[in-house]
Amino acid sequence: MARAERMAPARLAAFALVGVGALLLVSPFYFTFVFASHTRSAIFDTPPPLWFGSAALANYGMLIERLPFWRNFGMSVYVAVMTTALNLLLCSMGGYAFAIYEFRFKKPLFAMVLASMMLPAFLNMIPSFMVMQFLGWIDQPRALYVPGAAGALGIFLMRQYIASGIPRELIDAARMDGCGEFRIFWSVVLPLAGPALGTLGLITFINSWNNFIAPLVVMRSAENYTLPLALRSMQSPNNTEWGTLMVGSAIAMLPLLVAFFFCARRLVAGLTAGAVRG
Amino acid sequence: MFKTSITFAASLTAMATLAVLGLVATPSQAQAQAQKTVITVATFPDLDRAARAALPRWNKLHPDMEVKIVSLQYTDHHTAMTTALATGSGLPDVMAVDFRFMGKFAEAGGLEDLLKPPFNAAPLRERFVRYTVPQATNTKGELVALPADIGPGTLLYRKDIADKAGVSEAELTQGWESYIEAGRKIKAKTGAYLLADAADIRDIVIRSGLKEGEGLYFDRAGRVLVDSPRFVRAFELGRSARLAGIDAKVVAWTNEWSTGFKQNRIATQMMGAWLAGHLKNWLAPDTAGLWRAAGLPGGAYASYGGSFYAIPKKAQNKAAAWQFIQFMTLDKETQLDSLRVLDSFPALAEAHAAPMMEEPIAFLGGQKARLLWRDIAARVPAVPVNKLDSMATDVIRDEFENVVAQGKDIKAALADARAQIERRARR
Amino acid sequence: MTSTRSRPRIRARDIAPYLFIAPFFVLFLVFGVFPLGFSFWLSLHQWEPAAGLAAMRWVGLDNYAFALTDPWFHRSLWNTLWFVVVSGVPQHLVALPLAYFIQSRLKRTRNLVVGAYFIPYITSSVAIALIFATLYSKDYGVINAALQAIGLQGAGQGIDWLGDAAYTKPAVAFVVFWRYLGWNVVLYLSALQVIDTDLYEAATLDGAGLWTQFWHITLPLLRPMIFFAVTLTLIGNLQLFEEPFILVDAEKGVAPSVMTSAIFMYRLAFSDGDFGTASAVSWILFLIIALLTWVNGKMFQREGDSHGAR
């Protein structure tokens, strides 16, 4: 009884802090939608608008007129889904191998994986363009989802999770039962890697969705742009239609929100903590 | 078990890898080779709107040539063009280039020399506003592009604020000292700032008093000029404006800048003539009728920006591209359309004689500002561009910041700037 | 003499790992090796890309020497390291306890709260640039308005968050913190899932409070994930480009104070037309990142982490 009373104010304070923090974090997102419903002049007003305006439809109309918006949207979805699906499969395979097996060159190979994350991407534009040109993949979506189909980040993440979260005993037991290597991976390890897969899927989807450098290098027609590139192409040094741009950005963020809630259930669900206890 | 498992794993990996690599040959997207030639025009906003506005007329005149406009954000476009030029592939037929990148692209050698056959543009040169031609000419004397629009530098000022402070236009424009003095009066009597950023003064003064053959930062021999009196004066004037507290310290195209106009807190702005259109459309529409246009202070003549069209050497449809470029740059009707639609001032001298130039501009209180701007355009000096100009601009800007924000000595700052530029220009 | 097999049987177990990691390396071979080699080759040349491939000129290690002695490079390195510490450390100091709190105390509102914290990560760059410019505005920004309302700031004395060199760095660092806090919360949350709740129950029965449990149970078990998340932050922040680039326009006088090494590299390549030096800088950066990651590994990683939980 006494302890419960003592805890209440601290608990309240903790809740309040987390709540206010959450509000602060959400406001730019909120303002994107608010600005999307205002004219350009209103956005640059003092003070900037805090509530929705009435220009949303007009802005949307201009968006559709200027860009093949939904076509670009579709392209973004396609590329993001392909990238995510491929990454989920290939990265969990790679991560599993590095986590569980001992094999020759394991350390240097893993070092290579890690190292590949440390070089900045935009200098690769010209040689990447040359490779795509050579393969004949210019202006095609596969140039966007194939190169990153087994991302180093994903392998790193899966390795970390499997190494520390999947008990060795399970694998040994399965092997003793006569399971083949791939079967162990597929039926024993993967189901237990739920949270990691959820996390990997989410970040892969988001990174693919927001990437504009790869499409800039590869795409040659406006219909094939992904969303970020298309929205950028509406920006003029002095004359951007901000309201319209905000509408586009707002719509572009929605699939990411959907992806989050889709993965969150898997992530945060808290699975039965392992088949082997204690 | 061993066999099944290993085969399974191997085949899955192989399949995944193969599928992923798409090694199964797929025919690339072959464009249907119709009767029409398709001209690819790579451009950026807002220039793309000028091209789109011109399309209806183009299609009537040239029904056999279709124009495909590919537009990317300003920086993205120039990055994409740099990449294409670097590898010699993926190049458009017509390349739009902004003034800031013109020096670099012209020097690089990937664009057609329009003076040579089949273009033979030599006699066309005098049809354009004089200063634009050297901007598109490289050190080998090749003319690699034709100008599409220009931004004659003008001083837009708030007549109502100036009147309230008892300042006349002559005071504003006579000389730099009188401009700054007028700024003090305006601040004292109305509380408004004279200008948005003292750096604007610096930029204009740098562009005045150039000797024949001198570039902005480099002379013909490639020597760095930043410690010359021109720069010293530019820095001094900029600094005194900052010290007098008459600049709002806001950067152009930000919230504060726009609000500064709306709330009558910025009295003047030096920029290209196209600014009037922006002010009217969205920056400060409620201040219509209160602005006037004048020449830059101190008899300075400068240009802000400008766009060009070029033909890459590896383009596929050069003849058609040339037709399109001529249509955009040499056709009076097209140039005037751009003026109407985009407020972009024509680079074609003929267009300056059109009746449209005499229209009173309501936003500027009925002033026939285009006549003023046409006059300014004719007097902007022809300054040779150097491919390292943008690097030098960065260095100067940094040193100026040191001078005004940290009180660094001007001579020392310029000496450092010179050392920096020389170091980076070592090639 | 017992005869041993003359040739050991190749087990599936021996080949399997190579097959599992093959996709990554095949892709890397096709799409990664050429750009890597090209970049290294390029770092030994001087090249203005618009001039075409033939325009490369051999300069040997000149680019490296130039970069290493360049005052702007040093400044950019300093800025980068500053960002790593100032925006990296709080990210984890706040994310860890926060994830723990969410995991242990929030049930119904859990997804919503995590979602709120995650939203900055999915907000588009354009929106971030525009909205933070508005928020940070000297005369009309919400932040200054709030400070003035509380009395920490005099009226009309607004701080120019994105224009005054003393404040711009923290302002940008805050945006980086804002953006990646939720990302780290999600990472830690996913790792917290595997911790056996029995451990907590036993501890509660023994009388240990929330905080004690966090310190003695959660933290040690989270060590691998902490290592992972910190490594990512390290690698990411050492390559920081986007936030300073979109918040502070390159043309502004205050830009050098937030110029990170990645931005410096970008400027070298696209503004100075010096791809060779830019490549050299990227390799120097790579060495620095690799070094710091190795140090990080030594600090956090323990041998026992690789062999399964508990």
**CATH code at B132?**
3.40.190.10
Of the given ranges (A200-204, B191-195, C299-303), which has the lowest mean pLDDT? Answer: C299-303
> Which pTM was predicted?
0.87
Residue of C261, C252, C276, C268 whose CA lies nearest to C55: C276
Structural domain includes residue B337: yes
Q: How many CB contacts within 8 angstroms connect chain A with chain B?
A: 110
| Number of folded domains that form chain B | 2
Residue B140 sits in the same domain as residue B158: no
Residue B108 sits in the same domain as residue B187: no
pLDDT value of residue A270: 40
Which tokens belong to A199? Answer: 């996390």
Domain boundary pick from B358, B377, B401: B358
3-state secondary structure of A44: coil
User: What are the pLDDT digits (tens) for B241-274?
Assistant: 999 999 988 888 877 888 889 889 999 999 999 8
pLDDT value of residue A95: 92
**Is C289 exposed, middle or buried (CB count within 10 Å of its CB: 0-12, 13-18, 19+)?**
buried
- Domain residue limits at B118: 37-151+305-358
Partner-chain residue, chosen from A180, A235, A237, that has the shortest CB–CB distance to B5: A180
Q: How many CB contacts within 8 angstroms connect chain B with chain C?
A: 116
A167 touches chain C (CB under 8 A): yes
Structural domain includes residue B21: no
* Partner A, chain B 50-79, Cβ-Cβ below 8 Å: 68, 70-74, 76, 79
* Partner B, chain C 222-261, Cβ-Cβ below 8 Å: 249, 251-254, 256
Q: How many Å lie between the alpha carbon of A42 and the closest alpha carbon of chain B?
A: 9
Partner-chain residue, chosen from B8, B83, B253, that has the shortest CB–CB distance to A217: B83
pLDDT value of residue C261: 93
Inter-chain residue contact B251 with C16, CB threshold 8 Å? no
pLDDT value of residue B351: 92
Question: Nearest 10 degrees: CA dihedral of B69, B75, B79, B82?
Answer: 80
B144 touches chain C (CB under 8 A): no
Inter-chain residue contact A236 with B74, CB threshold 8 Å? yes
User: What are the pLDDT digits (tens) for C99-115?
Assistant: 888 888 778 888 888 88
What whole-number percentage of chain A has pLDDT above 90? 37
pLDDT value of residue B42: 95
Chain C residues inside the 8 Å CB shell of B88 = 52-53
Of residues B91 and A8, the one with the higher pLDDT is: B91
Residue range A66-72: mean pLDDT, rounded = 92
* Partner C, chain A 7-36, Cβ-Cβ below 8 Å: 11, 14, 18, 21-26, 28-29, 31-32, 35
Of residues A170 and A2, the one with the higher pLDDT is: A170
Burial B203-223 (b: 16+ CB within 10 A, else e): bbbbbbbbeeebbbbbbeeee
pLDDT value of residue B283: 87
Q: A155 pLDDT exceeds 80?
A: yes
Which tokens belong to A270? Answer: 């808290």
DSSP H/E element including B416:
helix B410-424
Confidence category of residue B373, pLDDT binned at 50, 70, 90: very high
Confidence category of residue B325, pLDDT binned at 50, 70, 90: very high
Inter-chain residue contact C224 with A163, CB threshold 8 Å? yes
User: Taking the alpha carbons of B105, B106, B109, B113 in that order, is the dihedral positive or negative?
Assistant: positive
Of residues B15 and C246, the one with the higher pLDDT is: C246
Place of tokens 């699906």: A85
Residue B213 sits in the same domain as residue B244: yes
Q: B25 pLDDT exceeds 60?
A: no
A185 touches chain C (CB under 8 A): yes
User: Taking the alpha carbons of A164, A165, A168, A171 in that order, is the dihedral positive or negative?
Assistant: negative
Query: What contacts B155, CB < 8 A, 6 or more positions away?
Result: B172, B173, B268, B269, B270, B293, B294, B295, B296, B297
pLDDT value of residue B26: 36
Confidence category of residue B34, pLDDT binned at 50, 70, 90: low
Nearest chain B residue to A129 by CA distance is B83
Which tokens belong to B307? Answer: 């766009």
Chain B residues inside the 8 Å CB shell of C66 = 426
Residue B185 sits in the same domain as residue B235: yes
Q: A7 pLDDT exceeds 80?
A: no
Which tokens belong to B260? Answer: 């500064």
Residue B404 sits in the same domain as residue B415: yes
What is the average pLDDT value for chain A, to the nearest integer?
84
Residue B156 sits in the same domain as residue B207: yes
**Is B105 exposed, middle or buried (CB count within 10 Å of its CB: 0-12, 13-18, 19+)?**
buried
Q: How many Å lie between the alpha carbon of A145 and the closest alpha carbon of chain C?
A: 11
**For residue C68, which phi and psi values (nearest 5 degrees)?**
-65, -25
Percent of residues in chain C assigned helix, strand, coil, to nearest 5? 75, 0, 25
Cβ proximity of B160 and B290 under 8 Å: yes
Q: B295 pLDDT exceeds 80?
A: yes
Q: How many Å lie between the alpha carbon of C14 and the closest alpha carbon of chain B?
A: 10
Cβ proximity of C23 and B13 under 8 Å: yes
Chain B residues inside the 8 Å CB shell of C137 = 254-256
Query: What contacts B90, CB < 8 A, 6 or more positions away?
Result: A129, A133, A138, A220, B83, B84
DSSP H/E element including C276:
helix C275-300
CB atoms under 10 Å from CB of C181, counted, come to 23
Of the given ranges (B283-287, B323-327, B377-381, C131-135), which has the lowest mean pLDDT? Answer: C131-135
User: What are the pLDDT digits (tens) for B118-138?
Assistant: 999 999 999 999 899 988 998
Q: A271 pLDDT exceeds 80?
A: no
Residue B73 sits in the same domain as residue B83: yes
* Structural domains in chain A plus CATH codes: 29-67+234-269 (no CATH), 78-225 (1.10.3720.10)
B262 touches chain A (CB under 8 A): yes
ipTM, interface predicted TM-score of the complex: 0.83
Chain A residues inside the 8 Å CB shell of B23 = none
Chain A residues inside the 8 Å CB shell of B44 = 233, 236
Chains near B with 3+ CB pairs less than 8 A apart are A, C
* Partner C, chain B 323-382, Cβ-Cβ below 8 Å: none
Of residues B27 and B101, the one with the higher pLDDT is: B101
Residue B85 sits in the same domain as residue B217: no
With left for phi above 0 and alpha for psi between -120 and 50, is residue B90 left, alpha or beta? left
Residue range B231-243: mean pLDDT, rounded = 93
Of the given ranges (B79-83, C145-149, C205-209), which has the lowest mean pLDDT? Answer: C145-149
Residue range C203-218: mean pLDDT, rounded = 82
Residue of B419, B418, B388 whose CA lies nearest to B225: B418
Residue B224 sits in the same domain as residue B294: yes
Cα(A157)–Cα(A166) distance, integer angstroms: 13
* Structural domains in chain C plus CATH codes: 65-122+168-301 (1.10.3720.10)
Cα separations (Å) of A56 from A74, B123, C132? Answer: 22, 51, 21
User: What are the pLDDT digits (tens) for B64-109?
Assistant: 999 999 999 998 999 999 999 998 888 999 999 998 899 889 988 8
Partner-chain residue, chosen from A114, A180, A235, that has the shortest CB–CB distance to C12: A180
3-state secondary structure of C44: coil
Nearest chain A residue to C309 by CA distance is A164
Q: How many Å lie between the alpha carbon of C134 and the closest alpha carbon of chain B?
A: 6
B222 touches chain A (CB under 8 A): no
Nearest chain C residue to B110 by CA distance is C51
CA atoms within 13 A on the CB side of C217: 21
pLDDT value of residue B343: 85
pLDDT value of residue B9: 53
Residue of B113, A126, B74 whose CA lies nearest to C55: A126
Residue B294 sits in the same domain as residue B321: no
Residue range B344-368: mean pLDDT, rounded = 92
pLDDT value of residue C251: 74
Domain boundary pick from B314, B343, B358: B358
Of the given ranges (B13-27, B325-339, C87-101), which has the lowest mean pLDDT? Answer: B13-27
* Partner B, chain C 55-74, Cβ-Cβ below 8 Å: 55, 66, 70
User: What are the pLDDT digits (tens) for A180-202?
Assistant: 888 888 888 888 888 888 889 99
User: What are the pLDDT digits (tens) for A248-257?
Assistant: 999 999 999 8
Maximum separation of any 2 CA atoms in chain A, in Å? 74
Structural domain includes residue B228: yes
Domain boundary pick from B314, B334, B358: B358
Confidence category of residue C8, pLDDT binned at 50, 70, 90: low
Bridge partners of B69? Answer: B41
Of the given ranges (B149-153, B232-236, B339-343, C88-92), which has the lowest mean pLDDT? Answer: B339-343
My answer on whether omega of the bond before B118 falls inside 30° of 0, hence cis, is: yes
Chain B residues inside the 8 Å CB shell of A229 = 72, 76
Distance of alpha carbon B318 from its chain centroid, rounded?
25
Q: C310 pLDDT exceeds 70?
A: no
pLDDT value of residue C304: 43
Residue B298 sits in the same domain as residue B168: yes
pLDDT value of residue B196: 92
Residue range C271-286: mean pLDDT, rounded = 90
3-state secondary structure of C281: helix
Which tokens belong to A273? Answer: 């903590």
Confidence category of residue C177, pLDDT binned at 50, 70, 90: very high
Burial A34-53 (b: 16+ CB within 10 A, else e): bbbbbbbbbbbebebeeeeb
Chain C residues inside the 8 Å CB shell of A25 = 116-117, 119-120, 178, 181-182
Inter-chain residue contact A237 with B263, CB threshold 8 Å? no
What is the average pLDDT value for chain B, to the nearest integer?
87
Residue B266 sits in the same domain as residue B398: yes
Q: How many Å lie between the alpha carbon of A62 and the closest alpha carbon of chain C?
A: 18
